[in-house]
Structure 1
């Protein structure tokens, strides 16, 4: 009878530890704050530039399309969706900058219906 009781207690401990350890690992507070994506700085600039170019319209959506990099230049591309008084439309914005210095060299806008 004692063997069944010990066996049950061992099984119970294994089950408790199996469920408690992963919860502890996931729920433990730490210094691991979520990091900002690499494109976040350029996304803020894209929103500022679009708001300056279209001051009457409201930015209602934002998408990071991607990044292209060569030896000297990087291009961050974003698509923003704007809501105007009479229409909704998209603006694709390319921010060109020096890869080493991050100095902006050009900003291009293209309106789109999708």
Structure 2
């Protein structure tokens, strides 16, 4: 039996594992940042999946090492932004990417996704 996988399959498996891990963390409260043990804020979960997908599309050869939810900003006019920092590894370099996901509050609809690499 040949157990070798293509890079595409391995990347898909890695991304699927990460998404499953994020879902479990959100459901069990492991994603707590504010120290409130009684109520996990999972309102950003949908937007984190979009941030990860868009980053993977822009950096298809990079492996996702870690991610962090920075926070939500209310922009007014029914718009909000969720900000994330993703840490990637590609070839011999590791780098961070800030991802800002803008969306409509009332419609729960994606407006835009912006990315910028961290200087280090």
Q: Give the TM-score normalised by structure 2.
A: 0.63
Q: What whole-Å deviation, never above 9, does each CA across 1:26-70 have from its counterpart, x for those lacking one?
A: xxxxxxx65671111111111111001100000100000000012
> Aligned pair 1:64/2:76, yes or no?
no
Among 107, 111, 114, which residue is 2:117 paired with?
Answer: 111
Aligned structure 1 segments of 4 or more residues deviating by more than 2 angstroms: 33-36
Structure 2 unaligned regions, length at least 5: 1-27, 30-39
- TM superposition shift of 1:112: 0.4
Q: How many pairs are equivalent?
A: 82
Bigger Rg, which one = 1
Structure 1 residues not aligned, in runs of 5+: 1-32
Whether 1:55 aligns to 2:55 is no
The answer for the alignment partner of 1:42 in structure 2 is: 47
Report the Cα offset of residue 71 of structure 1.
3.5
CA contact 1:65–1:79 (8 Å) conserved in 2: yes
Counterpart in the other structure of 1:23: none
1:98 paired residue among 97, 104, 107: 104
